[in-house]
Structure 1
Amino acid sequence: MRLRNKTWAKPLIAAHPELILVRPENMASQWQTRFDKEQPLYLEVGSGKGQFIVAMAQAHPEHNFIALELQEAAIAMILKKQVALKLPNLQLVLGDGADLTDYFDDSEISGLFLNFSDPWPKTRHEKRRLTYRNFLSQYQAIMKPNALLQFKTDNQGFFEYSLVSLNNFGMTFELVSLDVHHDKRVTDNVPTEYEEKFSADGGRIYELVAHF
């Protein structure tokens, strides 16, 4: 969902280069220099307002995290939280998920999260879906061998499409859940803002966990 422009977003981003980078095409293999410690690096593509990635960084100080978001207003909302929290294991990127191999080196990422990505339901927009094969190819390039890709959505059609897409790409599934919040196998779910609201209204959340 596209957010309204925030007049304060651009100045806030400009004021905190230590916390956020804009389309960082010179950072491949250099990301660990942005953190206090060199630790396994995890990436969320499409971080929205940031509830998930902030919670993950807080819960796992032994890992480093990057929130990547295309919308300036959304990444600025995460930045506002990070300015207050100053989590040493969280960095932000204003950038495009279609450019991951420009931002990251081969096998640099230890895990990747796709949470409630735009389903792009029209057939002519298939190539924009973050589980389309061109995106999967980029994830495979930047992720370590056997690193996990975790995908959540409330959209059944997008879930079914993604299940087929990942399978056709030759990925191995660790989890296929048709109802995350009532699945006893899922014990460590960290919800997004949207997920909390949607599930509170009785909506079902789907999840895939797989590796290349």
Structure 2
Amino acid sequence: MRLRHKPWAADKLKAYPKYVTQNPQDFKGEWQKRFAKDQPIHIEVGSGKGKFIVEMAKAHPNINYIAIELQTSVAVSILELQLDAQLENLQIINAHGGDLNHFFSDGEVSRVYLNFSDPWPKARHSKRRLTSPKFLDQYQTILKLDGDIHFKTDNMSLFQYSLASMSQYGFVFRQVWLDLHQSDFEGNIQTEYEEKFSAKGHPIYRLEAYYPPKN
């Protein structure tokens, strides 16, 4: 993603503490207090400009959503969508998604969305992939026992890596799609990247996975 620097973005994010927190560790274990209703929490790690998570929050008012985006100039785009929508079930974290254990208590999250994450194609960067064991450790910890991960990408190599990484870690796949847009999947909400890549004819890969409880 080529970022256009927005020097005013940080001040705008700080001006709306109702919707944005830059100190998410302050709410660890208490995220429900930031929402109008006590409902299951779904998070998206790397929300980009926010099209996916804002539309999800509109479509599912019975779920509380948290967008996590590091880049200030991108996170402000989520805020702008939120200011238009005024959704009571959407919060924004402007911070690094690699610190989830500091932001959420054990079992506080019901679902993690990973959409079109950076593939980090070089082998020496594999630990930075959001489906690497380092990140899977965090998802397993913050997810409820029946919680799950929903992952989408157009990058076949990243998808193959993710299938292997998650399987070796112990996650179980509920379902796997090798060409989502040619399937009978209903209710798909596209991200900005998804619209771009699918328009070019790229297949979209998707999976749903959970970590089975230990007996």
Task: State yes or no: 1:59 paired with 2:59.
Answer: yes
Normalised TM-score (structure 1): 0.97
Secondary structure of the equivalent of 1:137? helix
The aligned residue for residue 70 of structure 2 is 70
Deviation at 1:2, TM superposition (A): 4.3
Q: Equivalents in 2 of 1:4, 1:21: separation in Å?
A: 22
SS at match of 1:130: coil
Question: Aligned ranges for residues 60-209 of structure 1 at < 5 Å?
Answer: 60-184=60-184, 186-209=185-208
Give the root-mean-square deviation of aligned CA atoms.
Answer: 0.9
Alpha-carbon contact 1:23-1:96 (below 8 Å) kept: no
| Aligned partner of residue 149 in structure 1, secondary structure | strand
Task: Give the letter for the 2:45 counterpart.
Answer: V
TM-score normalised by structure 2 residue count: 0.96
Checking the alignment, whether the CA contact within 8 Å between 1:70 and 1:96 is kept in structure 2 is: yes
Assess, with a 3 A threshold, how the Cα gap between structure 1 residues 93 and 2 changes in structure 2: closer, same or farther: farther
How far did 1:8 drift?
A: 2.2
Pairwise CA distance, 1:197: 1.5
Q: Distance in 2 between matches of 1:23 and 1:31?
A: 12
Q: After TM superposition, list the pairs within 5 Å mapping 1:11-90 onto structure 2.
A: 11-90=11-90
Show structure 1 runs of 5+ residues with no match: none
Stretches of structure 2 lacking an aligned partner (at least 5 in a row): none
For residues 105-128 of structure 1, what are the alpha-carbon distances to aligned partners after superposition, in whole Å with 9 as ceiling and x for unaligned? Answer: 000001110000000000110110
Tell me, in whole angstroms, the C-alpha distance in 2 between the residues paired with 1:177 and 1:200: 18
Deviation, 1:67, is: 0.2
SS in 2 for 1:26: helix
2:6 & 2:17 partners in 1: Cα distance? 18
Question: Residue type matched to 1:177 in 2?
Answer: W
